[in-house]
Amino acid sequence: MTSSTNDTIVQAAGCVLWRRPSAGDLELALVHRPKWADWSWPKGKLKRGETFEEAARREVLEETGHTCRLGARLPSARYLDHHGRPKEVRYWAAEATGGAFAPNDEVDVVRWVTPDEAHERLTYERDRDLISLVLIAIGTDEDGREP
């Protein structure tokens, strides 16, 4: 860590949250943040003393209303946040285990979509890059179907 506040890495965690409804086709949860007018995965900054895994579960619950089971660790995203600080977001593939969404201060919509729809709707390329890795991690084909 350096002495400059601007050089401090902002640490965050999130999940590519998935479920397979009774129909069997895979769905991924996208969150819409009206403040940034973007569609992305559930994610947020770590709180003091919190592990990345704890933060990932907390953020999924806070932003989507769902509990989850963490699965495979996915590659981290690294970029500059809106203040120009370096940011690292560690991601997991996570299966939704229950819950329901209610709009909150940060997220106004959660949309469950197919992998193709996620690719079209996600705002950032770094988020789109995780779709194929999640499909591999949970053992589905490119359409989200079990082989």
Q: How confident is the model over 74-93, as pLDDT tens digits?
A: 999 999 998 999 999 999 99
pLDDT score, position 22: 77
The tokens describing 35, both together, are: 């403040």
Half-sphere exposure of residue 123, counting CA atoms within 13 Å on the CB side? 11
Per-residue pLDDT reduced to its tens digit, 118-139:
999 999 999 999 999 999 999 9
pLDDT score, position 141: 65
Task: Write out residues in the chain with pLDDT < 70, as ranges.
Answer: 1-7, 141-147
Q: Report pTM.
A: 0.89
Phi, psi angle pair for 93, to nearest 5°: -80, 135
Secondary element (H or E) of residue 105: none
pLDDT score, position 24: 77
Name the percent of the chain lying above pLDDT 70: 90
pLDDT score, position 25: 87
What are the structural domains of the chain?
9-137 (3.90.79.10)
Q: Which of these, 103, 92, 127, lies nearest to 18 by C-alpha position?
A: 92
